[in-house]
Structure 1
Amino acid sequence: MTTSILRLLSFVFILGAIFSPAEAQAPPSQEPVALQPGDLVRVVIWREEDLSGEFPVDEAGSVIFPLIGEKQVAGIPLRELRTALLEEYRIHLRNPSITITPLRRLNVLGEVNRPGPYEVDPTTNLIGVVALAAGPTTSGDLRRIRVLRDGRVVQDRVAAEASLSSLGIRSGDQIMVGPRSWLARNTPFVVSVLLAVPSVVYTITLIRQR
């Protein structure tokens, strides 16, 4: 009986090794945030609602801002961009106060409750991105997140704590949340089988002895 139980436990252990997810990649170091083609930039100018809003970054890396016109923004650190915009707007406004927020346009798919397109601050981590999609489903596993670009997987099993900017995620990318492993989804069943094994083996042994 003991041998049979040990064999079954070994089998379950092997299943766990096969179906359990690999360790997620460590979060890369944080990179300075800058706008990229395809992004949106949210501009808020205090007491100037007509000049505030969300503006697209075109393929050339430019944005057309109200009042000051087209400006090159791609690749410029946000602090420098804000300083440049302040100088431009000071020509037209008195003591302007400006807040700039870059937004990546992403699709969040897979095991999430509300899959679809989202506009996300690149300093947000993947946990925050999934939260925007109403969190993972009961089958979702945050250790199984993939990043797809143009239909190809460019990053697999990325750390959910990593920010979009540190991962180099661009507008147009897809964040795919994968399902939990077979063993994780069927743990109650496996446990119930293991608990039943001793009594089953004992019963079979008694029958054979008769």
Structure 2
Amino acid sequence: MNKLVFIFFTTLILTLSLSSYSQTLNPGDGIRVSFLDIEDVITGDYYIQPNGLINLPLIGVINTVNRDFKDIKSEIVARYDSLYKDPHLSVNALFRINILGEVENPGFYYVSDYEKFTAILAFAGGTTDAADLSDIKLIRNFQEIVIDVDEVISKGSTAMDFGLQSGDQVFVPRNWWSDNSVWVSITISAIALITTTYAILFMNN
């Protein structure tokens, strides 16, 4: 009985974890359509309207409301397949996220689901010298998710791999040394002065 309960809760947790990585698009997000073997005006970035609809060349309007991106992508590919014979078509989500903290140009950026983490930070001009790269956080719905930057970079993880979603905030904190280096230097200088003074007085005695 206990084993069955354990299996049930393990399966439930796994299911919930996987569902948290579903990709949904919101108004203001976009879709990047690229034809790799056809020179056409279709290739480009298209953005979702406030009503959740997106208008794509030749295939018309697609409803994105309450739909996973995989489902939206399948519909786009199917519609273009009906117009072109075996097109080499690339369809990617463009999430609007906010990059904050110790980056050169904080603000909102559009990030595709295949972008690597280093490229995402590069959109904001890269990190400053005061950045604490060991404590970068992903903020979603007022909850903080610590990103293991070393692991993400070493694996070459993409936005899809580490579950980036529309509306997320990437926060790069300031390192401790940048805020306290002056006081540390003053303290060290004071200790050195006291030590030197004491040594001189002791030697004179």
In the alignment, the residues of structure 1 paired with residue 126 and residue 194 of structure 2 have an alpha-carbon distance, to the nearest angstrom, of: 41
Q: TM (normalized to structure 1)? A: 0.64
Q: Which residue of 1 aligns with 2:55?
A: 64
Deviation readout 1:65-112 (Å, 9 max, x if unpaired): 2111223453142xx655543332233233322111211111212211
Q: Which residue of 2 aligns with 1:177?
A: 172
Superposed, 1:143-162 pairs within 5 Å as 143-149=134-140, 153-160=142-149, 161=152
Q: Which residue of 1 aligns with 2:198?
A: 204
1:143 Cα shift? Answer: 2.2
In the alignment, the residues of structure 1 paired with residue 77 and residue 168 of structure 2 have an alpha-carbon distance, to the nearest angstrom, of: 31
1:41 Cα shift? Answer: 0.8
Consecutive unaligned residues of structure 2, counting only runs of 5 or more, are: 1-16
Q: Which residue of 1 aligns with 2:110?
A: 119
**For 2:133, what is the secondary structure of its paired residue?**
strand
Alpha-carbon contact 2:34-2:91 (below 8 Å) kept: yes
**For 2:113, what is the secondary structure of its paired residue?**
coil
* Alignment of 1:99 onto 2:93: no
| Sequence identity percentage | 22
In the alignment, the residues of structure 2 paired with residue 181 and residue 131 of structure 1 have an alpha-carbon distance, to the nearest angstrom, of: 23
- Cα 1:87–1:156 change in 2 (3 A) is closer
In the alignment, the residues of structure 1 paired with residue 21 and residue 90 of structure 2 have an alpha-carbon distance, to the nearest angstrom, of: 17
Say what the alpha-carbon RMSD is for the aligned residues: 3.8
In the alignment, the residues of structure 2 paired with residue 167 and residue 156 of structure 1 have an alpha-carbon distance, to the nearest angstrom, of: 11
In the alignment, the residues of structure 2 paired with residue 90 and residue 208 of structure 1 have an alpha-carbon distance, to the nearest angstrom, of: 90
**For 2:173, what is the secondary structure of its paired residue?**
strand
1:129 Cα shift? Answer: 1.6
**For 2:38, what is the secondary structure of its paired residue?**
coil
* Alignment of 1:140 onto 2:134: no
In the alignment, the residues of structure 2 paired with residue 101 and residue 33 of structure 1 have an alpha-carbon distance, to the nearest angstrom, of: 14
- Cα 1:125–1:190 change in 2 (3 A) is farther
Q: Which runs of 4+ in 1 moved over 6 A?
A: none
Consecutive unaligned residues of structure 1, counting only runs of 5 or more, are: 1-27
Superposed, 1:38-77 pairs within 5 Å as 38=27, 39-45=29-35, 46-58=37-49, 62-73=53-64, 74-77=67-70
**Letter matched to residue 94 of structure 1:** K
- Cα 1:35–1:66 change in 2 (3 A) is farther
1:158 Cα shift? Answer: 2.7
In the alignment, the residues of structure 2 paired with residue 89 and residue 189 of structure 1 have an alpha-carbon distance, to the nearest angstrom, of: 63
In the alignment, the residues of structure 2 paired with residue 93 and residue 124 of structure 1 have an alpha-carbon distance, to the nearest angstrom, of: 28
**For 2:160, what is the secondary structure of its paired residue?**
helix
1:133 Cα shift? Answer: 1.3
**For 2:143, what is the secondary structure of its paired residue?**
strand
**Letter matched to residue 142 of structure 1:** L
The aligned length equals 178
- Cα 1:193–1:53 change in 2 (3 A) is same
- Cα 1:44–1:153 change in 2 (3 A) is same
Q: TM (normalized to structure 2)? A: 0.65
